[in-house]
Amino acid sequence: MPSVTVQDSNLVGGHAESRPRLSSPITYSGALDKYIKTFADVTPVIGREIYGLQIRAILKEEDEAVFRDMASLISQRGVVFLKDQDVTPSEMKDFMLRLTEAGGCPASSGLHVHPLTEEGSELGDQISVISSEKQKKGGGLTHQLSDVSRFASAGWHSDITFEKVPSDYAMLKIHTLPETGGDTLWASGYEIYDRLSEPMKQLFEGLTATHDASFFHDEARRLGNPLREGIRGSPLNQGGNLTAVHPIIRTNPVTGWNDLLLNYLFNLVTQNHDAQVRFRWAKNDLAIWDNRSTFHCATYDYDAARAGDRVCSLGEAPYLDPSSTGRRAALDA
């Protein structure tokens, strides 16, 4: 994950050529309800398990209101969990394109190509293979490696923040699991923002941070593969300079709520377990989350093989709308 340097700024952030296409937040319409047998919120503030919904069935849907509902639901709950999914990597990519478009992504945003992805990858440039076995052998996308010499909580992050246009949504399907272990945790940026005092909110709303993932150059040399310097899902994401400046507090255009983008407030994220959800994977389970509103952390407490496929879509360049509010204030209104 990128290192972070914080600085003062009077800017609200973002690039004019990569702003969201939404004129207002998305409201849940109920069009998605016909696909859901039942659901359960995993915690009060983050996470929802949905039963009966199959991604493959949703892909046949012509009504874009269904995908807008998906975007609204994921962005409000932070992460949704779908059980026993029969879906291919190609279908995952198709779904994520429709999801990010329904969520109002800029016309220039597509699916992310990770800088370490090998050209001609069997599953396609936009699929990141998350594999513990490849990591042990020094291959694969080693940006997922954990450093066992550190606290496990050092692994908290949001995806692709080193890019000028980072990820809005991410989808991970786990198809190979150890008998125990390998859980993933997510934390709500909305909830952490709401726990700040008003003076602290005002302070952080005036700060930006530089995300630096230059270490990927070392990884590329170690793996013997050239770094992907072409367009990585957005015209703003290209070249070898893997750094980006983002506001610490950003607005999620789908909900209109503020959240914490960066790990500058590290302890607030890692020590507030009541702002977190922990998911125990079963084979072929799938999670979709909003990277703008959450942090996540894998648990490396296993020796057996664990593997899955991940797709990240790209949203807008991060920005702060001065008129936006926090989650609690919006729900209480």
Q: What is the pLDDT of residues 240-295, one digit of tens each?
A: 999 999 999 999 999 999 986 655 577 888 889 999 999 999 999 999 999 999 99
Domains of the chain and CATH, by start: 3-332 (3.60.130.10)
In this model, does residue 190 exceed pLDDT 90? yes
Q: Between 66 and 151, whose confidence is greater?
A: 66
* pLDDT score, position 237: 96
Which of 185, 217, 159, 181 minimizes the C-alpha distance to 305?
Answer: 181
Q: Between 121 and 3, whose confidence is greater?
A: 121
- The confidence band for 5, taking pLDDT boundaries of 50, 70 and 90, is low
CA distance 333 to 105: 27
Q: What is the pLDDT of residues 36-47, one digit of tens each?
A: 999 999 999 999
Distance from the Cα of residue 154 to its chain's centroid: 17
User: 256 and 23 in contact (C-beta within 8 Å)?
Assistant: no
User: 180 and 280 in contact (C-beta within 8 Å)?
Assistant: no
Q: How many CB atoms lie within 10 A of CB 303?
A: 10
CA distances from 152 to 129, 142, 146, 289, 306 (A): 21, 17, 8, 21, 17
CA distance 287 to 87: 12
Mean pLDDT over 291-304 rounds to 91
CA distance 223 to 198: 47
Number of H helices, E strands in the chain: 9, 15
Angle at 199 (CA atoms; ends 197, 205), nearest 5 degrees = 100
Which amino acid, one-letter code, is at 158? S
User: 117 and 125 in contact (C-beta within 8 Å)?
Assistant: yes
